[in-house]
Structure 1
Amino acid sequence: MLSNFQGSAKSLVELLKKQGVEDASVLKTIENTPRHLFVDDVLKHKSYENTALPIGQGQTISQPFIVAKMTEVLKQVGVSGKVLEVGTGSGYQTAILAQQFDEVYSIERIKSLQWQARRRLHQLDLYNVNMKHGDGWQGWSARAPFAGIIVTAAAKSVPQALLSQLQDGGAMVIPIGTDDQVLTLFVRQGDDFIHHKLAPVRFVPLIEGEVS
């Protein structure tokens, strides 16, 4: 699946290393996952550039550096087992998570995007992903608690429902803000949540509700 893009994928990984991604397993997964399957045909030539790309419905496939970094951060703080992704989008971040964690639960508010993402994941034989069409602000309480949560759109404030669905010791990586967004890590310690600001970022907004 990667044959025509193997060189481009290797070059992308070398760039991610230079930008500070250190986790060898995450880098290998980025290199071996065919990002061109997750974008429209007219954008395939940009698949392995370190940039976000439009996927329709006003949404984007995240920059590979951000995908790698958010995944790496969860692993660095000891997350393993069950992870929730808020915002399936193209399914690319989902595919990376599915190869790094035992179980992935992914919510998408736009049903057509969710359907396309499911098809791509099955094409890659990734079947440890449970998908839900719903409001990401509310999380997935029926499957909580989660060891880790990744939010792939910027919330104007911290979604309390998501914090409540973290297990003790669990961690959430989420962009917070509207105009000035900051990638933020929350770690649960009992009823307390320790937060660390990681980096300025640019994401599409996390919108409440769902679209059929």
Structure 2
Amino acid sequence: MPQRHLREAAADAARQTAPRGLGLDSEMVRRRMVQRLQREGLADERVLQALSTVQRHEFVDSALAIQAYEDTSLPIGHGQTISKPSVVGRMISILFGGANAGQQGRLGRVMEIGTGCGYQAAVLAELSKHVVSIERLRPLHEKAQMNLAAVRTPAQIRLVYGDGRLGYSAGAPFDSIIAAAGGEDLPPAWLAQLAPGGRLVAPMVAPGGRGQILVVVDHVLEAGVGRFVRTEHEAVLFVPLKSGVS
């Protein structure tokens, strides 16, 4: 075969061969995302490892997959979004500051309000004993089921179709509660289902109704008496917390 044809055949083969290490399923791509988050201040190695493990592109529509490892929220349909990796990492890092998580080194039993596409549930599963994730929109509940089955997430995730404001009393108490939607109040059911030593992290409408802030509630047990200690953190932007199912 003439040299020119050999060169053309080699060029064609190179074009048809996907470059190794650069695909969206590559660990390198996720590692680069994690390195960016580290530079921006996310320091918990456990959370960084979980974010590096879970393939975020598997949880978004194929048309948006190229943006999966950017620090941006993306639409997942039905007026909902998948949160930024930095926000997911920040909220889970805060959960690790709870007393029970500090003693166990893991998040223990977790309740997530707002499954969405299932991405955050997958990250939580890497860090906890058991995850109950509640979604009020049936199409998203079903999408999360398919997504989590496709990536073969750990079996300790239980997906519930229901009203997240009611929590999940059958699985209570929970060491950690995390919400992916924000309302004007914290539903009483969440506090009732938070274990002593447990911590809740959720967005809430800021005082005066101007935007949202992250709110942290610790269930503190002193001399056999429980009380809730609330602290407020930075401004955030989440979809509204709604009741009922659809």
Q: TM-score, normalised by structure 2?
A: 0.82
Q: CA deviation at 1:123?
A: 2.0
Q: More deviation in 166-175 or 122-131?
A: 122-131
Q: Does 1:152 align with 2:180?
A: yes
Determine if contact 2:22/2:29 at 8 Å carries over to the other structure.
Answer: no
1:204 aligns with: 239
2:13 aligns with: none
Q: Does 1:90 align with 2:117?
A: yes
Tell me: higher relative CO, structure 1 or 2? Use CA pairs within 8 A at least 6 residues apart.
1
1:162 aligns with: 190
1:195 aligns with: 230
Aligned match for 2:160, one of 132, 142, 155? 132
3-state DSSP of counterpart to 1:95 = helix
Q: More deviation in 6-15 or 24-33?
A: 6-15
- In 2, Cα distance between equivalents of 1:122 and 1:3: 24
- In 2, Cα distance between equivalents of 1:124 and 1:45: 18
Q: More deviation in 85-94 or 12-21?
A: 12-21
Deviations 1:6-44 (A, max 9, x none): 343222111111222111121111112111111111111
Deviations 1:85-131 (A, max 9, x none): 00000100000000100100010001111111112212222211011
Task: For 1:62, give the aligned amino acid.
Answer: S
- In 1, Cα distance between equivalents of 2:156 and 2:187: 26
- In 2, Cα distance between equivalents of 1:202 and 1:15: 21
Q: How does 1:1-212 map to 2 (within 5 A)?
A: 4-5=23-24, 6=26, 7-78=28-99, 79=101, 80-126=107-153, 127-177=155-205, 179-190=210-221, 191-211=226-246
Task: For 1:4, give the aligned amino acid.
Answer: G
Q: CA deviation at 1:179?
A: 4.3
Consecutive unaligned residues of structure 1, counting only runs of 5 or more, are none
Q: More deviation in 115-124 or 62-71?
A: 115-124
Q: More deviation in 25-34 or 40-49?
A: 25-34
Determine if contact 2:220/2:229 at 8 Å carries over to the other structure.
Answer: yes
- In 2, Cα distance between equivalents of 1:198 and 1:144: 26
Deviations 1:46-69 (A, max 9, x none): 100101100000000001001111
Q: CA deviation at 1:199?
A: 1.0
- In 1, Cα distance between equivalents of 2:73 and 2:167: 24
Consecutive unaligned residues of structure 2, counting only runs of 5 or more, are 1-20, 102-106
Identity %: 37
Q: CA deviation at 1:3?
A: 6.1
Q: CA deviation at 1:77?
A: 2.2
State the aligned residue count.
210
